[in-house]
Amino acid sequence: MNAINADATCALCAALLDARNRSKEHVIPNAIGGRLTTQTFICAACNNTHGHAWDAELARQTNWFSSSLGITRHRGEVPKERVQTIDGTGLWLRSDGTMAPEHPRSEVHETDGKVTIQIVARNIDEAHRMLKAARRKFPSIDVEKAKQEMEVKDEFLSSPLHVQLQIGGPEACRSIVKTALAYASTCGVPHLCCDAALGYLQHIDSPSPFGFAYTFEFVKARPSETVLHCVGLMGDPKRGILLSYIEYFGHFRFLVRLATHYSGEPVNASYAIDPVSGKEEHIDLDWNISDDQIRAIVDGTADVYPGMMKAAHHIIPIVLKRNEDRQRQRVIVEAFEYAAVSLGFRPGDAIPTAHSERFVALMMEKLSPYLHHLVARSNRPPALSDADPFWNGPSSQDA
């Protein structure tokens, strides 16, 4: 969707926008699943020098949500992210929601001339390379034979993950304000009305025009099962305010004061999207917020902690459930393929019913670590508590 902006100049450098320097800018960064674009907001040069870096930092800080939900981007995959369990083990979280050990490791034991090797690797090729490396120490190892006899096991996390749930720093914050400004632009608000936001984007030492919005619930009838991104705009010339509310992954919530004193047209608009499916959703925003409440949020004097924990309690179980559903599906597909290949079939072949008993046994063999993990996890205490910003992250590591 593209809206016409009367300015048709770049909001950041004031260059006239024409066919040569026009840039397709995502209102909500595509790196976190945003789809809506505008071509009348900033020029290609500004998008390349600032926009991408700001959005990349925001995407980096929210990467756990993107990876856990399986966000897809127009260009490039969601990068893997280093995460840590609360007992300090480093892991890589991949874009498909699986995990891999941060540091591959191997242990070799030799008893009565028989060599046993245990390898923890991120993939099978790495395991093969480590096997070759082990032969340098133990020349008796027959690498080809060991490859064939190698038993591959999935390992599942036994310790909860520690995840960062805040956004900060000049770049990620500018991405947020840029989104507010881009949305105002698509709603036909001239850039020059948004002096507070423009000043912040153009000058490194300008005061921040936004704050964490956890002391006021902007989303009316918040959906209970969906994870949404949303951006809203409200301009009231009588009160002299032009505000944007932004919410990412249902958890990160911001209020941006775009103008120091707004005297333009009244405006009230919102846009929401399921970042996984790309489907637009309708959402109603409540703008019944007092000047004092706005000031406390934007000046950073509001106590955000209780609201932030409440938001985390709402959204994290939804994200975890989505990730678990994806994991269950993946594990079952892998077990099916494992059984098929073990019986000499190719993935996708019909399996004759005469093989079904053996087939099911092979599937169960492959599923066994996952099922044990489910049983062990069912014995753990609840995932999230008010005092404790840690929670259980489900995911497998390849072993």
What separation in angstroms does the CA of 278 have from each of 74, 77, 192, 227, 237? 11, 16, 31, 11, 33
Q: Where are the beta strands (DSSP E) in 137-291?
A: 154-156, 161-162, 210-212, 229-236, 241-248, 252-257, 267-273, 280-281
Task: Using the minimum distance from each CB to Zn ion, give the nearer residue, 32 or 43.
Answer: 43
10 binds Zn ion, rule: CB under 5 A: yes
- From the list 181, 207, 167, the residue with the least C-alpha distance to 58 is 167
Separation between Cα atoms, residue 155 and residue 384, nearest integer Å? 23
Separation between Cα atoms, residue 281 and residue 301, nearest integer Å? 32
CB neighbours of 89 closer than 8 A, spacing ≥ 6?
Answer: 101, 102, 159
Task: Using the minimum distance from each CB to Zn ion, give the nearer residue, 15 or 269.
Answer: 15
Contacting residue, 5, 7, 9, 12, with Zn ion by CB under 5 A: 12
Phi and psi at 255, nearest 5°, equal: -120, 125
176 binds Zn ion, rule: CB under 5 A: no
Phi and psi at 31, nearest 5°, equal: -60, -20
The span of 7-15, 202-210, 212-220, 275-283 binding Zn ion (CB under 5 A) equals 7-15
Number of alpha helices (DSSP H) and beta strands (DSSP E) in the chain: 10, 16
The span of 15-23, 26-34, 175-183, 282-290 binding Zn ion (CB under 5 A) equals 15-23
46 binds Zn ion, rule: CB under 5 A: yes
CB of 257 to Zn ion, least distance (A): 23
Contacting residue, 31, 43, 194, 297, with Zn ion by CB under 5 A: 43
181 binds Zn ion, rule: CB under 5 A: no
17 binds Zn ion, rule: CB under 5 A: no
Site size toward Zn ion, by CB under 5 A: 6
180 binds Zn ion, rule: CB under 5 A: no
CB of 182 to Zn ion, least distance (A): 13
Separation between Cα atoms, residue 342 and residue 125, nearest integer Å? 19
CB of 46 to Zn ion, least distance (A): 3
Beta bridge partners of 38: 25
Site string for Zn ion, 290-329 (x = CB under 5 A): ----------------------------------------
258 binds Zn ion, rule: CB under 5 A: no
Task: Using the minimum distance from each CB to Zn ion, give the nearer residue, 7 or 57.
Answer: 7
**Under the rule (CB under 5 A), what is the footprint of Zn ion?**
10, 12-13, 15, 43, 46
